Amino acid sequence: MPTPATLTPVSLTPAALAPAPAVRLGVHGSTHLASRLVAAAGHAPESVEYVPYEVTDPFGPLRAGAADIMIVKYDPLEADLVLSRPVGFDGRAVLAGAHHPLAGRASVSVEEVAEYGGFRCPGAFPAHVWDLVVPPRTPLGRPIRRVHAMTTLTAMAELLRSTYAVHLSFRSLDAVVPPDIKVVPVHDLPPSPVAFARLRGSEPPEHVRRFVADVERAALR
């Protein structure tokens, strides 16, 4: 009669028992969109550390090694960056002070937005992407006056609340702007694709690869 197989205990090293480090995810402004992607992929909120970046230097944290990946809208066409598959979309909106004629509307046309001064491309931000965020002309050919300097969200909000300036942006910012800045949907601009970007030429850590793959799969459901 055969004897039962003897199981040899496996001793786990401290490294094997340790939880995976957090994914360092670069975001601009609101973490609302990013946290939705994290939840849809089935990852715990604490598995991600959000690394803020400014539009004046959007790729700085990634290139400095402070972030593993970052959220991008549209393709920045940067030679040292690689993009994931699309993981979502962000609807278009216009930001305006609460006193603004457009602020109380349920939605507006970009043709109406062209009545007011907008923001020009900041710092090292890719000009071709800014042309998609704040197009130089409306679909009917009306010029959009990109006259104000874009620096930080705080400075932008101060200008919006004190003038009739507007900023064509994204609905996800509704979660981060002050209460006196209104985020009004723009119904005749298509939503922007959302993806993750990482540095080309270096393989991300396994926990980062797994996170990106899980978010990509969740986007297909």
Q: Radius of gyration (Cα) for the chain, nearest Å? A: 22
Asked whether residue 66 falls in the same domain as residue 126, the answer is: no
Asked whether residue 100 falls in the same domain as residue 184, the answer is: yes
CATH number of the domain enclosing 125: 3.40.190.10
Distance CA 138, CA 155 (A): 26
Distance CA 102, CA 182 (A): 9
Please list, in sequence order, all residues whose beta carbon lies within 8 angstroms of the beta carbon of residue 199, skipping any fewer than 6 positions away: 62, 63, 80, 81, 82
- The answer to whether residue 185 sits within a structural domain is yes
- The answer to whether residue 162 sits within a structural domain is yes
User: pLDDT at residue 205 above 60?
Assistant: yes
Asked whether residue 185 falls in the same domain as residue 201, the answer is: no
3-state secondary structure of 183: strand
- The answer to whether residue 31 sits within a structural domain is yes
- CB distance 51 to 24 below 8 Å: yes
- The answer to whether residue 15 sits within a structural domain is no
Domain count, the chain: 2
- The answer to whether residue 56 sits within a structural domain is yes
Distance CA 105, CA 113 (A): 12
Residue 82, H or E segment: strand 81-83
Q: Which pLDDT value is given to residue 171?
A: 95
Domain that holds residue 209: 21-89+193-220
> What is the residue whose two structure tokens read 């990482």?
198
Question: Could you tell me the sign of the dihedral formed by the alpha carbons of 103, 107, 110, 115, in that order?
Answer: negative
Distance CA 40, CA 35 (A): 9
Q: pTM, whole model, 2 decimals?
A: 0.86
Q: Which two tokens stand for residue 169?
A: 């942006």
- The answer to whether residue 5 sits within a structural domain is no
Instruction: Please give the average per-residue pLDDT across 202-210, as a whole number.
Output: 95
- The answer to whether residue 7 sits within a structural domain is no
Asked whether residue 168 falls in the same domain as residue 107, the answer is: yes
Asked whether residue 151 falls in the same domain as residue 215, the answer is: no
Instruction: Tell me the per-residue pLDDT of 131-183, one tens digit each, with 9 for 90 and over.
Output: 999 999 999 999 999 999 999 889 999 999 999 999 999 999 998 899 999 99
Instruction: Please give the average per-residue pLDDT across 38-55, as a whole number.
Output: 96
- The answer to whether residue 14 sits within a structural domain is no
Q: Which pLDDT value is given to residue 6?
A: 53
Asked whether residue 102 falls in the same domain as residue 171, the answer is: yes
Please list, in sequence order, all residues whose beta carbon lies within 8 angstroms of the beta carbon of residue 210, skipping any fewer than 6 positions away: none
Q: How many residues does the chain have?
A: 221
